[in-house]
Every structure is written in structure tokens, then in C-alpha cells.
Amino acid sequence: MAQNQRTRVVAAGRPHEPNSPVNPPVDFTSTYVYRPSVEYPQVYAREGIPSFEPLEGLLAELEGGAHGLLFSSGLSAVSAVINQLPIGGHLIIPRHAYMGFYSMAAQLAAKGHFTLHRVDIAETEQVLSTVREVAETARDQSTQALLWIESPTNPMLEVADVPALIAEAKELGVLTAVDNTFATPLRQNPLKQGADVVVHSVTKFISGHSDVIMGAAITADLDLNAALHGHRNLHGTIPGPMEVFLALRGVRTLAVRLDAAERNAAFLAARLDQLKDDDAVSLTSVTYPGLPSHPQHGRAKAQLGGFGAIITIDTGSQAAADTVLEGLRVWTPATSLGGVESLAERRRRHPGEPDTVPEGLIRLSVGIEDAEDLYQDLAQALRSAAS
């Protein structure tokens, strides 16, 4: 029987045998008993343990892939994917993306691992033109190219034409990877549109409680999965069994958490968009894919199953942003996103953030608190920054 995503997120990855525990057990072991006369599937825990399988299977099912792999962090999942490029390959990346990925890509390119090409991922024709040029160069050089898509982007919330980019890349033999952390598998499924691999920072919406560091890579390609598994094994980037347990427990409530946070985000974005016209607040712009004023609002409406729980506001300056953050009482000033609590952060406090991100930009990760409380707290902090 076909299942809705809201059902899958709760039901997938559970034992069904009589007298099995409803929640899969946790395997606390580093190695397994060996007998020369018997072939065992388990040898050493770095290769993976049974505790991983329920969450890996659940994420694969949600994304529409066949294979899921857990990693010790989102960045280690990213590293496993981009390391599939041969030395001398080509990597096309958005001008705005997760800072850790952005910095890693720049560092590896500087060391000569591959040639880096930056694009405005929301400008479809620009991206397609670059993909065509890079694909031709890669063919001439007998190497491989990879298009990295992040949509919506972190932190600027640009929305790519994901189906069009994947289709063109596929036709030209360019690999495609999609960071689906912001949208989650409940709002977007790039594998079903032909992407080669999807990555997640499980730390964020999937685990949902700001208490786990973990990543995941999901693919429908058996050979690519084997290569990613080999990378994980050799680099030792496996998560701990207790972290996997916490993430599996957290993902069970993804649908209700995301629905609640998304409702709050829509409410806040609309109210803040009105507030920005008030001269008594330090607020110059509000960006949210669900606002009609968002440059790719129509695209987001057509492609996504919802507009997400991330908003950005520009306070006009670093000083104003810092004053806003100092004045918050309900919101928590902290990095990361996707937890049940609402977090706020000035992104340019990180040296690796591109200088195209405004100094006064604050990324808001909207949680599940009362929406009016969240608004009033932000409004008073924005007023204090203007006085």
C-alpha cells in the first residue's frame, strides 16, 4: 500500500517480527566474534553496524533512493561526495552555500584537487551555460564534473530550478549532488528528479533537537553507494550508535515539527515584512521563499511542498545586528538550525562566510514556540537597535 511521507517518517525502519522491540536496539560494540568456519556479515564496527540500518533505510525511503549512508557529520557526508571527483575534475558550486562546504571546496581547489566554478544557482541560464562549458572541458580533459545544488541556499535562501539543472547536467554527463538540508525530504525529493546523490546535515531538521552531530548521503546508484561507503570506511567517519538512536527518535516527529515551524515562519515573515516600513525599527529587508516579494517565490511555490522554517532579515549593519541579538529573550542567539527552539545568528561573524552576505544579515531558524511571542521578542529587539 502506498504511504504518505508523514506515515513513512514514523513507520519506516521499525522491526515487524513478533516480540521485536518497537524501537530498534542500540549496538554498543567495536568488533564482532569471528570463526574461520563461518562467514559473518559483520567484522568491525567502522564498516557499519546494524544500529545504522533503520535510519539509513528510513532516509533512503523518504528521499526515493535505494541506499542511505550515515556519516559522523554533515560535512563528512559532503566530503565523501566531492571526493568522488578525480584529481583534475571540475566542481560547480553556488556562490552562496553552507559555509563548511564552501570553505572545504575552496581549500581543495587551492590544493589542485579540482577546478572550482561559482554560479548564482538561482540564475538558471547562467548555471546551464556554465554546466555546458564545464562539461565540454571535462570531456576534452577526460575527467569528470560535478554540479552541486543547494536550494534554498544557506543563508541567502535563493531557490534553484532543480529539475531543469538536473536534467541538463544528466544529459551532458555531469554528476549532480543536492544538499537537501533546508527543504528536507518532506518538501523536496531531488533523487526522484534524477539527481545522483542527496546529502543532509542530519544535525538540523532530521534530528531536530540540537543534540546530535550527523550527516547522511542517499543515492539510487549501487556503485556510487559502494564508493561512498568505501570512503566512509577508510576515513572513519561513522557516527556513534547513541547519536544514531537520538536521530532516529528525533526524525519520527519531523512532519509535525516542520509543519509547526513552517506555520510560525510564514506568520513571522509576513509580520516582519510589514514591520520593515516602520522607521522605529532597524530592519531593511525580509527574505522568505513564501513571501510574494521573494525573487523566486513562484519557483518555490511550484517546486517545494512548503516554504520552510528559515527566514533572513537584514538589519543594515553589524552594530545593529549585534544589538538585536543582545536584546533577544525568547530567541536563542546561536548557530545551527532546524531544532525545536528558535535560533538567531549574524552569519558574517564567521570569517568563511562570503562577503556577498550582508554584514547586518541575521538568519532566523524558526522553532515551534508561540508565534506571537517570537514576533514580539524580535520586534522589541529591532526597536532597541534603532534607538
Is 377 one of the catalytic residues?
no
The pLDDT assigned to 34 comes to: 85
pLDDT beyond 70 at 347:
yes
pLDDT tens, residue by residue, 77-106? 999 999 999 999 999 999 999 999 999 999
pLDDT tens, residue by residue, 92-144? 999 999 999 999 999 999 999 999 999 999 999 999 999 999 999 999 999 99
pLDDT tens, residue by residue, 146-179? 999 999 999 999 999 999 999 999 999 999 999 9
The Cα 40–Cα 326 span in angstroms is 57
Catalytic one among 14, 46, 132, 249? 46
CA nearest 306: which of 364, 253, 266, 252?
A: 266
pLDDT beyond 60 at 1:
no
The pLDDT assigned to 42 comes to: 73
The pLDDT assigned to 224 comes to: 98
| Percent of residues, the chain, with pLDDT higher than 70 | 99
pLDDT beyond 80 at 40:
no
Is 204 one of the catalytic residues?
yes
- What is the DSSP pairing of strand 175-179 with strand 114-119? unpaired
- Show the domains of the chain with their CATH numbers: 5-251 (3.40.640.10), 254-386 (3.90.1150.10)
The pLDDT assigned to 55 comes to: 97
Is 111 one of the catalytic residues?
no
Is 98 one of the catalytic residues?
yes
Average predicted confidence (pLDDT) for the chain: 96
pLDDT tens, residue by residue, 170-181? 999 999 999 999
The pLDDT assigned to 37 comes to: 83
The pLDDT assigned to 43 comes to: 83
The pLDDT assigned to 2 comes to: 54
The Cα 147–Cα 27 span in angstroms is 37
The pLDDT assigned to 267 comes to: 98
User: What backbone phi and psi angles, to 5 degrees, belong to 316?
Assistant: 100, -25
Q: Quick one: average pLDDT of 207-231? A: 97
pLDDT tens, residue by residue, 185-207? 999 999 999 999 999 999 999 99
39-53, 232-246, 329-343, range with the lowest pLDDT: 39-53
∠ CA(286), CA(292), CA(296), 5° rounding? 85
What is the three-state SS of the chain?
A: CCCCHHHHHHHCCCCCCCCCCCCCCCCCCCECCCCCCCCCCCCEHHHCCHHHHHHHHHHHHHHCCCEEEEECCHHHHHHHHHCCCCCCEEEEEECCCCHHHHHHHHHHHHCCCEEEEEECCCCHHHHHHHHHHHHHHHHHCCCCEEEEEECCCCCCCCCCCHHHHHHHHHHCCCEEEEECCCCCCCCCCHHHHCCCEEEEECCCCCCCCCCCCCEEEEECCHHHHHHHHHHHHHHCCCCCHHHHHHHHHHHCCHHHHHHHHHHHHHHHHHHHHHHCCCCCCCCCEEECCCCCCCCCHHHHHHHCCCCCCEEEEECCCHHHHHHHHHHCCCCEECCCCCCCCCEEEEHHHCCCCCCCCCCCEEEEECCCCCHHHHHHHHHHHHHHHHC
Question: How would you class 31 by CB atoms within 10 Å of its CB: exposed for 0-12, middle for 13-18, buried for 19 or more?
Answer: exposed
The pLDDT assigned to 29 comes to: 92
pLDDT beyond 90 at 16:
no
The Cα 161–Cα 32 span in angstroms is 47
Catalytic one among 161, 187, 196, 204? 204
